[in-house]
Structure 1
Amino acid sequence: MKHPVDVHVGKRIRHRRWMVGMTQQQLADCVGIKFQQIQKYETGMNRVSASRLWDISTALGVAISFFFEGLNEEPETPRRMEGDMLADKEALELVRSYYAIPEAQRRRLFDLARVLSAAA
């Protein structure tokens, strides 16, 4: 039986991989495993070891904590899941464009978006 944490981490791996435009094969090559193993991680069928998660986080350019974000949220909270948003091509393109911006400017853009969404 899949553990909810393994499923969550797998979804975060898949979403980050999509955000950076990487295939399962490319990620597998970066971490030295077969793409089938990436498939199993992304579905939560196989648990990701700490050292493998370290390698994946390095390959995807995020901190390990990225894979655990959102875990403490109440499941009853009505919100659109990140996976649903990234299924939209426009949203995916926006996210990819966002991560192409240098970090200092990206932070300012993020702050602006936060202010605008609070005012809406």
Structure 2
Amino acid sequence: MSKEDRPIRNRRGHGRGRTQDGKPNPIDVHVGMRVRLRRTLMGMSQEKLGELIGLTFQQVQKYERGANRVGASRLYDLSRVLEVPVGFFFDDMPDEITGRSPASGVTDTPDYKPDEDEMHKRETLELVRAYYRISDPRLRRNLFDLMKSLGDGSDAD
């Protein structure tokens, strides 16, 4: 068996779900980012989420960073607590990481940096939460229209 055909050994930095260079699998990073997105949109702390699924907040942090893989039963628990279907955690996965699991044989997995995406920044999440706390639908729609009109002229920076 050639070196390229050998399975990745289960050692620190080179274990299951890690890329050849020891980085977290980009799919695990995406799932963790989706956990963080939903938790933040619900206004839930890492500590509260951990309490509800029997983990410490540090374990939740590791899931959210993709440092720890989320097993099937834990993913199911997360979907129930966060009130989303399991498929939610895989939604919006960028094309550049789809199918780039170490098991796929692809070794040129790009660095996946979800925090560089405006849709996953804390400011965006807080803005969306605040927007949906506006109970008057007309006021919410007026704010939406205002923000769209302000944004249309901001591309000239």
TM-score w.r.t. structure 1 length? 0.69
Deviation at 1:81, TM superposition (A): 4.2
Deviation at 1:35, TM superposition (A): 1.1
Is the aligned partner of 1:97 residue 2:128? no
CA distance in 1, matches of 2:59, 2:74: 11
Deviation at 1:92, TM superposition (A): 3.3
Identity %: 39
Deviation at 1:59, TM superposition (A): 0.6
TM-score w.r.t. structure 2 length? 0.54
Indicate the residue corresponding to 2:66 in structure 1: 44
Which ranges in structure 2 are unaligned for 5 or more consecutive residues? 1-22, 97-116, 136-143, 153-157
Tell me which of 39, 48, 72 is aligned to 1:17. 39
Higher relative contact order (CA 8 A, sep 6+): 1
Which ranges in structure 1 are unaligned for 5 or more consecutive residues? 101-112
Q: Which segments of structure 1 move beyond 3 Å, counting only runs of 4 or more?
A: none
Q: How many residues align?
A: 98
Equivalent residue letter for 2:82: L
Q: Which structure: greater helix fraction?
A: 1
CA distance in 2, matches of 1:5, 1:81: 19
CA distance in 2, matches of 1:3, 1:83: 19
The 5 A counterparts of 1:1-120 are 1-71=23-93, 73-75=94-96, 80-84=117-121, 86-88=122-124, 89-94=126-131, 96-97=132-133
CA distance in 2, matches of 1:14, 1:62: 13
Equivalent residue letter for 2:49: L
CA distance in 2, matches of 1:7, 1:21: 21
CA distance in 2, matches of 1:92, 1:42: 19
Contact 2:62 2:68 in 1 (8 A): yes
